[in-house]
Amino acid sequence: MRLYNTITRSKQEFAPIDGKTVRIYSCGPTVYSSPTIGNLRAYVFTDILKKSLKNIGKWGLFDVLNVTDVGHLQSDSDEGEDKVEIAAKRAQLSPAEITKKYTAEFTRDTALLNIAPPKVLSPATQYIREMISHIAELEKLGFTYDTSDGVYFDASKFPDYEKLRRGDNLSPDSPTISRIALGEKRGKNDFCLWRKSKPTALQKFPSPWGDGTPGWHIECSAIARRYLGDEFDIHTGGVDHIPIHHTNERAQTEALTNRPMSRFWMHNEFIKINNTKMSKSLGNAYTLTDITDKGYASMHFRYLCLLTHYRTIMNFTWESLDSAKKSYENLVKTIKKNKLTEIEIAALRKEFQDAITDDLNTAKAIAVLWRADVDLALEYDAVLSLGLREAIEKFTFGLNYHADKIPADVIALANKRLEFKKARDFLNADKLRDEIKSLGYEVLDTKEGYEIRKLNV
Ligand code: AMP
Ligand code: ZN
């Protein structure tokens, strides 16, 4: 698997550090408003990344996603107010009510898009202790200084601070570093680790530096270190994170550990709407609900994402979604008609795999998919045998054609029944067929194994 690494600015062969488990940290959503399709693109990208790495079949996966429920100011560089706090005041709700509401929306939308949930989902407010001890360690090593409003990281003390964001990484959407007002900061690259609370603050936590809230960047450093250790495999986020958030995360972690925080840093490009920036004030910060309200399926959006390489700006228009919908539906019909020999299938699988292992070339993989034969898999309403289902998922990257999901216990029974059949123990096989029936499903024997259908009751 070759992946583009932002920090080396090149495609590199990937293998996990320990040779066994891929450890990934993804910067999670700031839960103060509904996730936009831009945010969702970031997680479609990481989902494809994770599934592709798993499909290689050599490694396990341990992935962590934080939920930013405190500390993210209006500007990424210590200006403005806390986004959650503003939303809470506006809605006359508590910060906890706001973050609960939008975390639920995020979970719902990602599930609709067939994005697998992470092993660990970690709301920042539950890791304040880890953040405080990270800051205290930095303080001991002399990387911090105090101001009237907080504790700051002195970036000039960290060598190679610019490594990740060097010039060519600055996206047109990234905040320009030069605009940042210095205030009490000693240098323009310095950033807040702990912010002392104003008396009116809704969220505050006790700390050695007084009541306050953590800086946004320290969240990810502390949570990543808590679960993934001093050095892990891949860190992901949108390109907007390169110049400030990830640059600062890296500095404050490596200042402590003297090791590379992550081997690979991977970033997805932005979604634009009609070639302009997506923003709430322009009324074009679309959500998945906006898409489904217009009669499109979530899968049409996922398919649209797959047509653009993750490192290319994706221009969203309603016309592009409409043609993605038509294309997706035609694809499914075409796949049904294709009849291939085993040799042809093997060749296509290789072509498909080659596209994906070349830095996740999903557009090319989709082109291969058009020539594929998964008709059996797409014939019925019910999902078929596990083996085949895996094959579909390999081919379609979670573009789930079936609304009905077969419960895991039914699949387990069907697998057990298959084993009995293979052992020619038809008595027990029939018993399990009845048991499956009593759960409302029918198991049908096929050349490949079996299919399961939901019984009409
Ligand atoms: P946030 O909720 O703002 O913390 O962002 C969550 C994720 O979405 C981050 O990885 C961002 O970099 C990413 N992101 C934000 N806006 C866009 C966009 N328009 N297109 C693609 N990714 C985005
Ligand atoms: Zn982060």
Instruction: Compute the distance from residue 284 Cα to the ligand 1 centre, in Å.
Output: 15
Please state the rounded mean pLDDT for residues 352-362. 90
Q: Whose CA is nearest to atom 5 of ligand 1?
A: 29
pLDDT digits (tens, 9 = 90+) for 194-248: 999 988 889 999 999 999 999 999 999 999 999 999 999 999 999 999 999 999 9
**Which has the higher per-residue pLDDT, 95 or 454?**
95
Q: Whose CA is nearest to atom 17 of ligand 1?
A: 38
Instruction: Compute the distance from residue 226 Cα to the ligand 2 centre, in Å.
Output: 14
**Least-confidence region, from 40-44, 109-113, 311-315:** 109-113
pLDDT of residue 396: 57
pLDDT of residue 397: 58
pLDDT digits (tens, 9 = 90+) for 359-413: 999 899 888 888 877 544 343 322 232 233 444 555 555 554 443 567 888 889 9
pLDDT of residue 193: 97
pLDDT of residue 103: 96
pLDDT of residue 452: 78
Give the domain ranges of the chain: 2-268, 273-404, 406-454
pLDDT of residue 9: 95
The response to whether residue 243 sits with its C-beta less than 6 Å from ligand 1 reads: no
- Looking from the CA of residue 173, the nearest atom of ligand 1 is 19
Instruction: Compute the distance from residue 222 Cα to the ligand 1 centre, in Å.
Output: 20
Nearest to 374 by CA among 346, 345, 400: 345
Burial classification of residue 336, based on how many CB atoms lie within 10 Å of its CB (0-12 exposed, 13-18 middle, 19 or more buried): middle
- Ligand 2 is an ion; its neighbours by CB within 5 Å are 27, 220
What are the residues whose beta carbons fall under 8 Å from the beta carbon of 413, sequence distance 6 or more?
Answer: 432, 435, 436, 439
**Least-confidence region, from 11-15, 68-72, 328-332, 389-393:** 389-393
271, 305 in Cβ contact below 8 A?
no
Instruction: Compute the distance from residue 195 Cα to the ligand 1 centre, in Å.
Output: 24
The response to whether residue 41 sits with its C-beta less than 6 Å from ligand 1 reads: yes
**Which ligand has the shortest distance to the CA of 84?**
1
The response to whether residue 83 sits with its C-beta less than 6 Å from ligand 1 reads: no
Whether residue 72 has pLDDT greater than 80: yes
Q: 303 phi and psi, to 5 degrees?
A: -60, -45
- Looking from the CA of residue 30, the nearest atom of ligand 1 is 2
pLDDT of residue 68: 94
pLDDT of residue 387: 37
- Looking from the CA of residue 237, the nearest atom of ligand 1 is 10
Please state the rounded mean pLDDT for residues 405-433. 90
pLDDT digits (tens, 9 = 90+) for 303-347: 899 899 999 999 999 999 999 999 988 887 777 677 777 788 778
pLDDT band with cut points at 50, 70 and 90 for residue 172: very low
pLDDT of residue 404: 52
**Least-confidence region, from 35-39, 57-61, 235-239:** 57-61
pLDDT digits (tens, 9 = 90+) for 434-451: 999 999 888 887 766 777
The response to whether residue 212 sits with its C-beta less than 6 Å from ligand 1 reads: no
* CATH placement of domain 2-268: 3.40.50.620
**Which ligand has the shortest distance to the CA of 222?**
2
Instruction: Compute the distance from residue 203 Cα to the ligand 2 centre, in Å.
Output: 20
Instruction: Compute the distance from residue 67 Cα to the ligand 1 centre, in Å.
Output: 13
Instruction: Compute the distance from residue 232 Cα to the ligand 1 centre, in Å.
Output: 22
Measure CA of the first residue to CA of the last residue in the chain; give whole Å.
47
209, 151 in Cβ contact below 8 A?
yes
Rounded to the nearest integer, the mean pLDDT of the chain is: 87
